[in-house]
Structure 1
Amino acid sequence: MDFLPVPEINRNLSHPDEGSLQKEKSINSPLIGTGGKKREMNIMNHATDFSKLHASDLLPARDGEKWTEQFLLAVVDVLLNYIKKTFDGKSKVLDFHYPHQLLEGLEGFNLELSDQPESLEQILVDCRDTLKYGVKTGHPCFFNQLSSGLDIVGLAGEWLTATANTNMFTFEIAPVFIIMEEIILKKMYKIVGWGESEADGIFCPGGSISNLYSLLVARYKYFPEVKTKGMMALPNIVLFVSEHSHYSLEKASAVLGIGTDNVIAVKCDERGKMIPSDLEAKILEARKEGHFPLYVCATAGTTVYGAFDPLAEVADICEKYGLWMHVDAAWGGGLLMSKKHSFKLCGIERANSITWNPHKMMGVPLQCSTILIQEKGLLYACNQLSAGYLFQPDKQYDVAYDTGDKTIQCGRHVDIFKLWLIWKAKGTCGFELQINKCLDLAQYLYRNLKTRENFQLVLDAEPEHTNVCFWYIPQSLQKIQNKTELSRKLHQVAPKIKSQLMEEGTTMVSYQPYGDKVNFFRMVLSNPATKKSDIDFLIEEIERLGKDL
């Protein structure tokens, strides 16, 4: 793909030369830190020759305490260097290389595994280079995904979690974390509007798995025999999702043996909201055809448009026809923390289950997702198999705290501590300020784009969430009268600009087609570090790279 030469970036980005991949071979060599200052990676004011040390010299090796301390301090030095660059607006968001380049290996950085142990010096260089060639998702100009930012307290929580290295299936091996999870879940039930003692929940490995749990539990609630007899004992069940719902619902249907053909899409309005009348019509049609309507998934914050389905109206229909109502609030659930914006989820308290991802709008490091179930006991009944080697009933404590039998997993990662620690550090009011700021920035971008000649909004209405979707239309395209030709060429604009943005590493923003709409940019804001100047920079970059297309 050929591009015209581009002028110098006006942000004075002090980026390393793309052609130079020479690495420091020693961890004691000078490193370039924030602001271009050189500093020595000295540990405790004296150099350590890591080239002669190996993992076998670290704890639990005899006399390994000294080398363990110095090695970990060197790792912290690498991390601090990276963190400082992440928050430095003049640094790159990424140092892009193609897959074949990474597979072939870069100078000093080879991903192939060796049979013999390598020195700790090489391990430290690999740590640094792994971060160098990755993406700084905490950078204030990273707008590519729904989860972004780098919360320092949350980072500390992850470090401590890894150090504890335990499992969440029983109280006996994770006593503090199990209690933390109960406290946080009760807090979330209360925020949703449920009784703390009546609901249930669990932390899951991502929103897709949370959505799968909702369908799994709903099916068990209506047909408990499925647990022993399987799908052959059930009628032909169908579920209903909006046209703009997350694809994980189709995946869950495939995984659970329901089948993707039994996922019925409900029409949405121009804003991407589910149309209740179409939902009701499709439920009646499914009944007429001999299907069993089981489940409706409404979305609070769709992935592309950031739309909120009319939850109260959907709840009315679910109650009328006896369907399970799930709300996928993976993206929009964080707005419940804001007095200003929580009204957008009015009716969520009537849901039977809810997906809520704190690793999105609440800024908790990946991954941190919950499934909340309004009826206590269903998770246990649905998933419990009482493995005797883990869940002995005669333990000396209340075995209700052995949460492992509520899940489809055995081993479960500790995702709770970082959220608990951030909540302690920020307080509920801190989350509210953070979320309000992101929504305010979305309004700023929306109003800015409305005044610009070369930009066109996909939705000419103020954003409900932080999603702002738009086209950039170069001058050369504005003269085209033929709509087919215009669409064909406009479809190519966003990918070309995105490619240049990534190769230069200045910023990252997503694009996609949707329905009959050609490729457009989808801007999302969830990073507390982002400022208005970062949004201005994104617009300037798109204009700079796109004006001559």
Structure 2
Amino acid sequence: MPTAAESSPLIQPIGVDETPRLQPEAKSRRLTSLQERATFTTQPEKARHERFIRESIDLLLKEAVFECSNENSKVLEWRSPNDLAKEIDLKVAAEGETHDKLLQLLSKVVRFSVKTGHPHFVNQLFSSLDPYGLVGQWATDALNGSVYTYEVAPVFTLMEEEVLQSMREILGWCTDGKDEGDSIFCPGGSMANGYAISCARYNAFPQVKTQGLHGLPRLSLFTSEDAHYSVCKMASLLGLGSDSVHLVKCNSKGQMDANHLEDSIQASLNSGEMPFMVSATAGTTVIGAFDPLPRIADICDKYKLWFHVDAAWGGGALISKKHRHLLSGIERADSVTWNPHKLLSAPQQCSTFHVRKGKGTKEAPGILSATHSTSATYLFQKDKFYDTNLDTGDKHVQCGRRPDVMKFWFMWKAKGTNGLEKHIDTVFENAAYFTEQIRKREGFKLVVEEPECTNVCFWYIPPSLRGKEDTDGYTEKLHKVAPKIKERMMRNGTMMITYQPQGTLPNFFRLVIQNSSLTHVDMDFFITEIERLGKDL
């Protein structure tokens, strides 16, 4: 019986190392077939889609990239929910739209979205629009990959290995050329902290993977009262319950009180609980405080507890020789959360989780694999023709996983570690300048006199409240100032900065600086604009 190649004149015979090639006649037929496809198909067709895609990219470059990052434009055009629904046709219908209508819709989406790449967007722990990261992000979407096996994502798999190992080296875990650690990309810092709890629990009680919590003592973990809420949320998700999380007091700088931590651990033991983990924070969400990692590491060693550091925000300071001392002691952590999309300004989202001693083998899987693997045979066959240690997907809770590494790798390749260090040093210098201007300016008061990171927290006190700190109702009145200024700011579209209360403190502003294109002129503008918007309150 003739082979398929022998019976088909359209396919050339190939050798073992060759690739099938279509004859010109087959190419012609294929092109004609593509041109005739209906609009509901998902394959891009050059004749039908190239112009639309190019015009869409041109629109995004003009309106979303360059206009949105121009300080003379607005950070946003505010609309109420009802009015916004009238501006954009959000309804989906039985029939599709024309390309022209789609371009109009795209333009409106850009127009009424918050411009997070704008120099005056200082509202969240992410901002700016890195051009190299953006190209990496677009490449990721164009390739539409998913990272779980080497055969499906060969380039992205090796890219992840390189970037994550480099991050472990920066953490101080690769000594004498030895790297015993392991790392993964995660869909956000909250999930990374969830991985930490999961690994720590498995480390203490391996049977939990198959038997669950049945028969175990009541487990307890510890984090600061200013830590990210994801620690409590993930404890609930993992079946431990939020009551299992003991919140440790912070000092006046927002740092975990190590003495209270040890007292809390001892109290937990005395109540019959089983402590298994401490989650310290390197750069708290609001104040930007760095917990005393060496002291916490000593306590974890004493009580044999898993030591996790949530450096989602502050981890970027490790890149800088001038500022990495803030995370001194992180090299002793069992696990670390670190989000490059925060202080390093990679595009959203780009989050990583690292374990110091987690590298495994086929015979003895590392902690990530041991905790989460299920060995799905339709993906993770062990008889593949390549090294299946590169099939990293079984270490993850997810199956399909976006290649978040590409944007960060492309940024790192473009700028080098030296460029990333200059970025970090610049944002810290701007934060120091802004802090000094707040000290000097009448009507402004710092929440923390010496901010450790690049979030600077402060109150604006309008003329009507100055000198009245000891009068009845002062705190309640001050509490209302920041929300009112924020409302005016949003309606004007001039800048975006967040506010919040903390503990017994009334609402205060939190300026977050991570855009290294900002200058002292921008710092001065933030102060002057807040003053302009609130001086009549």
2:292 to 302, 307, 310: 310
Which residue pairs with 1:56 in the alignment? 39
Is 1:184 paired with 2:163? Answer: yes
Compared with structure 1, are the counterparts of its residues 285 and 58 closer, same or farther at alpha carbon in structure 2 (3 Å cutoff)?
Answer: closer
Write out aligned runs for 1:213-228 (5 A). Answer: 213-228=195-210
Compared with structure 1, are the counterparts of its residues 244 and 57 closer, same or farther at alpha carbon in structure 2 (3 Å cutoff)?
Answer: closer
CA distance in 2, matches of 1:431, 1:220: 35
Long gaps (5+) in structure 1: 1-53
CA distance in 1, matches of 2:460, 2:527: 9
Superposed CA offset, 1:55-78 (max 9, x none) = 8198747xx313322111101111
Cα shift at 1:484: 3.9
Aligned-residue CA RMSD (Å): 1.5
Write out aligned runs for 1:481-496 (5 A). Answer: 482-496=470-484
Is 1:80 paired with 2:68? Answer: no
Contact 2:69 2:115 in 1 (8 A): no
CA distance in 2, matches of 1:57, 1:253: 44
Question: What amino acid does structure 2 have at the position aligned with 1:72?
Answer: I
Which residue pairs with 2:152 in the alignment? 173
Contact 2:320 2:425 in 1 (8 A): yes
Range that drifts further, 192-201 or 401-410: 192-201
Which residue pairs with 1:141 in the alignment? 120
Superposed CA offset, 1:507-542 (max 9, x none) = 000100000100000011011222211121111111
Which residue pairs with 1:237 in the alignment? 219
Compared with structure 1, are the counterparts of its residues 110 and 272 closer, same or farther at alpha carbon in structure 2 (3 Å cutoff)?
Answer: same
Is 1:426 paired with 2:408? Answer: no
Question: What amino acid does structure 2 have at the position aligned with 1:335?
Answer: A
Question: What amino acid does structure 1 have at the position aligned with 2:270?
Answer: K
Question: Percent identity between the aligned chains?
Answer: 49
CA distance in 2, matches of 1:87, 1:249: 34
Range that drifts further, 328-337 or 276-285: 276-285
1:119 to 98, 110, 130: 98
Compared with structure 1, are the counterparts of its residues 484 and 234 closer, same or farther at alpha carbon in structure 2 (3 Å cutoff)?
Answer: farther
Contact 1:57 1:67 in 2 (8 A): no
Compared with structure 1, are the counterparts of its residues 513 and 205 closer, same or farther at alpha carbon in structure 2 (3 Å cutoff)?
Answer: same
Contact 1:58 1:65 in 2 (8 A): no
Contact 1:58 1:67 in 2 (8 A): no
CA distance in 2, matches of 1:201, 1:295: 19
Which residue pairs with 2:468 in the alignment? 480
CA distance in 2, matches of 1:463, 1:244: 15
Superposed CA offset, 1:64-120 (max 9, x none) = 3133221111011111112111221100011111222223x21xx211111111111
Compared with structure 1, are the counterparts of its residues 56 and 446 closer, same or farther at alpha carbon in structure 2 (3 Å cutoff)?
Answer: same
Compared with structure 1, are the counterparts of its residues 55 and 438 closer, same or farther at alpha carbon in structure 2 (3 Å cutoff)?
Answer: farther
CA distance in 1, matches of 2:181, 2:42: 44
Cα shift at 1:137: 0.5
Contact 1:226 1:233 in 2 (8 A): no
DSSP 3-state at the match of 2:52: helix
Range that drifts further, 124-133 or 501-510: 124-133
CA distance in 2, matches of 1:174, 1:127: 31
CA distance in 2, matches of 1:55, 1:304: 52
Cα shift at 1:479: 4.5
Contact 1:328 1:356 in 2 (8 A): yes
Contact 1:455 1:471 in 2 (8 A): yes
Number of aligned residue pairs: give it: 491
Question: What amino acid does structure 1 have at the position aligned with 2:120?
Answer: C
Which residue pairs with 1:367 in the alignment? 349
Cα shift at 1:333: 0.2
Long gaps (5+) in structure 2: 1-36, 359-365
Cα shift at 1:297: 0.5
CA distance in 2, matches of 1:342, 1:197: 21
Which residue pairs with 1:524 in the alignment? 512
1:441 to 430, 437, 446: 430
DSSP 3-state at the match of 2:214: helix
DSSP 3-state at the match of 1:86: coil
Cα shift at 1:483: 4.0
CA distance in 2, matches of 1:481, 1:206: 41
Which residue pairs with 1:9 in the alignment? none
CA distance in 2, matches of 1:160, 1:234: 47
